[in-house]
Amino acid sequence: MFEVQGSIGAVRGFRVAGIHGGLKKSGAPDLALIVADRLCVAAGVFTRNLAKAAPILVSQEYLRTHAQTIRAVIVNTTCANALTGKKGMDDARQVTRLVADGLGLQAPQQVLPMSTGVIGTLLPMDKIASAIPQAISRLGQDWQAAAQAIMTTDTRPKMASVCVETAEGSYTIAGISKGAGMIAPNMATMLGIIATDAKISLPIAQRTLHTANEVSFNRIVVDGDTSTNDCVFLLANGASGVAIDKPSELALFERALTEVCVKLAQAIVRDGEGATKFITLRVIHAQDAASAAQIAHTIAASPLVKTAFFGQDANWGRIVAAAGRAGQPFDPDRAQLWIAPGESLPNSGHGLLLFKHGTVAKYSEADAAAIFREPSISVTLDCGVGGRGSAVVWTCDLSREYVDINADYRS
């Protein structure tokens, strides 16, 4: 019915810019602006870290009063504006004021701020103040430039879009995201901005974003760290004239939004810091869905599991051992573990059985080694407790390069 693209043409009624505003020493793009030409309904999902960055707190404040009149999102890189006290809050508000003034908006509360970068340093307000008019002057349809301008340790821009045909006409859902490290469930260092020209109500925006987020951005693990800063916004400006109000249309919208979010989330894992493998991890027959997700996240965050994938070593014992310490019901004597190449399950079932009923299964080490040499590997773990809970998490390996990137990040 629709197909998610890895690029973005245009979204009616939105203009974007991604520019170099003097923040990155390299001269790379470092400031992005997304502007709607009419009032948007907006929803956000935010980090659960208690040390929330100033732009998170300001965005939450603005959405409490202006969620139906949002007009823009402004994103800076290099400085997270996190753990920066009252001055950080003042700066975040001042950034939104500068954007609102530049665009001739009624209130700064119509502009949602996002920041990503080093924690504990203040925003370079002079540079941002000169960059904002420049960004406004460059507003257009170049979503790739915007996606590039929100990158930090990312090696490539992350975009996804889908065009949904309906009886009333078509609408687009398009999004950009960033994030490569500090990625864990519950909104780790990642930013996502999703724009749609569908016409939706505020409750629908909020509910569908939460639902989509739960099975996309909250199901990726790079390193298990959860950041101070990160959030995903959904902005809907209604410019397509297609109103999402019937149940069947709503279901379709939610599915399309979810697929865009999954594509953006997977792009983050594929570009994980130093990642050489893309791992799809399915946990089945857990007690319930939350239990399945907890087991999957524990496996995905295990340094020993991740280094085994990096070493292309079919060391399945580490996967089962990680499941055993997840704090959830798990029965090693009934558990089973399969691996398969690629991202999808093979038609023949779950793939190569490595572990069954408490002990190693009969398989050829050569077959297992061949799968572990693949760039994409699927792992399926049956928890052996006979429940109906299942979850899918996407993760990557842990390489020497991850250490290099993060040992030298500030320097």
Binding residues (CB under 8 A) for a copy of itself: these are: 48-52, 80, 82-88, 118-121, 181-182, 184, 186, 223-228, 301-304, 307-308, 310-311, 313, 315-318, 320-325, 330-333, 355, 357-360, 398-400, 402-404, 406-411
| Nearest-angstrom CA–CA distance, 336 and 331 | 10
Active-site residue identified among 189, 208, 226, 380: 189
Nearer to a copy of itself, 223 or 259 (CB): 223
User: Rounded CA gap, 350 and 396, in Å?
Assistant: 20
CA atoms of 320 and 103, how far apart (whole Å): 55
Compute the least distance from the CB of residue 293 to a copy of itself, in Å. 15
CA–CA separation, 62 vs 194, rounded Å? 18
Give the nearer residue to a copy of itself in terms of CB position, either 156 or 410: 410
> In the chain, helix, strand, coil percent, each to 5?
35, 25, 40
Nearest distance, CB of residue 271 and a copy of itself, angstroms: 17
Does the active-site annotation cover 211? no
Closest of 372, 404, 376, 349 to residue 266, by C-alpha? 376
Residue placing its CB nearer to a copy of itself in the complex, 62 or 316: 316
φ/ψ of 84, rounded to 5, equals -120, 10
250/317 with CB nearer a copy of itself: 317
Least spacing, CB of residue 358 vs a copy of itself, in Å? 4
Minimal distance, residue 236 CB to a copy of itself, in Å: 30
Backbone torsions φ then ψ of 51, nearest 5 degrees = -90, 75
Question: Of the two residues 110 and 228, which places its CB atom closer to a copy of itself in the complex?
Answer: 228
In angstroms, give the least distance from the CB of 183 to a copy of itself.
10
What CA–CA distance (Å, rounded) separates 302 from 321? 10
Question: Long-range contacts: 345-354, Cβ < 8 Å, 24+?
Answer: 345/282, 345/378, 345/380, 350/380, 351/378, 351/380, 354/314, 354/316
Of residues 118 and 243, the one with the C-beta less far from a copy of itself: 118
How far is CA 248 from its chain centroid?
A: 26
Helix (H, G, I), strand (E, B) or coil at 242: coil
We find the least distance from the C-beta atom of residue 275 to a copy of itself, in angstroms, to be 13
Are 107 and 77 in contact by the 8 Å Cβ rule? The answer is no
93/153 Cα distance (integer angstroms)? 26
> Whose Cβ is closer to a copy of itself: residue 28's or residue 51's?
51
In whole angstroms, what is the distance from residue 240 CA to residue 352 CA? 47
Up-side HSE of residue 281: CA atoms within 13 Å toward CB?
A: 33
Compute the least distance from the CB of residue 361 to a copy of itself, in Å.
10
The set of residues, in sequence order, having a beta carbon less than 8 Å from that of 301 and lying 6+ positions away, is: 184, 221, 223, 224, 395
Active-site residue set = 189
